[in-house]
Structure 1
Amino acid sequence: MGVGADLGQCGGMSDYFGKKELRRSSERRVLAGVCGGLGDFLGIDPNFVRLAFAVITLFMVGGGVFLYVLAWLIMPEEGAEGSVLEHIIRNFQGKRSDY
């Protein structure tokens, strides 16, 4: 039997490789956990991600700050049901949101 047969028995590719989710980190955070979450997702040190945001901020005149705030709004925190933006939209629509 080949590798494909083994993967079929354990439930598919996501079970074999593990499922990664892009979420803000609750442990490796300095501000909102965006860089920690991106670092965990990409498998790199979050300090490299922080450095990238700093470089983008310097060379794109605040572009890194914009991207960081956008990521904070979109990325849900570990253990949370949804993102901050999702919570804001639900409140605006008058729906109950368990944030």
Structure 2
Amino acid sequence: MSAPALSRPQSGKIVAGVCAGLGRRFGLSANVVRLLFVLSCILPGPQFLVYAALWIVMPKDSGGYRG
């Protein structure tokens, strides 16, 4: 059984669907990934740049997944 492809879902997203896509790909809740992202913003680093890059690089979901 393989993991779903890394893509941004059309439903269940808040901003761009990056956290929802990452959560689906790695078997985590989208809310857990969102919480980890928000907590990581406390630390110095390029979190927003990584999010923006993933927004650009991750393709939109074709609509086949309804999990």
Q: Shorter-normalised TM-score: what interval?
A: 0.7 to 0.9
Secondary structure of 1:47's partner?
Answer: helix
Instruction: List runs of 5+ in structure 2 lacking aligned partners.
Output: none
Structure 1 or 2, whichever has the larger Rg, is 1
Identity fraction in percent: 30
Superposition pairs for residues 51-66 of structure 1, below 5 Å?
51-61=35-45, 63-66=46-49
The alignment's TM-score, normalised by the length of structure 2, stands at 0.80
2:7 aligned residue (23, 28, 36): 23
More helix by share: 1
1:10-69: CA deviation from partner (whole Å, max 9, x where unpaired): xxxxxxx145200011111000000111111111111111111112222125x2211110
Change (3 A) 1:58 1:77: same
Deviation at 1:71, TM superposition (A): 0.7
Q: Tell me how many residue pairs correspond in the alignment.
A: 63
**2:30 paired with 1:46:** yes
Which sections of structure 1, spanning at least 5 residues, go unmatched?
1-16, 81-99
Q: Would you say 1:71 and 2:54 are equivalent positions? A: yes
Corresponding position of 1:94:
none
Q: Which has the higher contact order (CA 8 A, sep 6+)?
A: 2
Match of residue 36, structure 1, among 11, 14, 20: 20
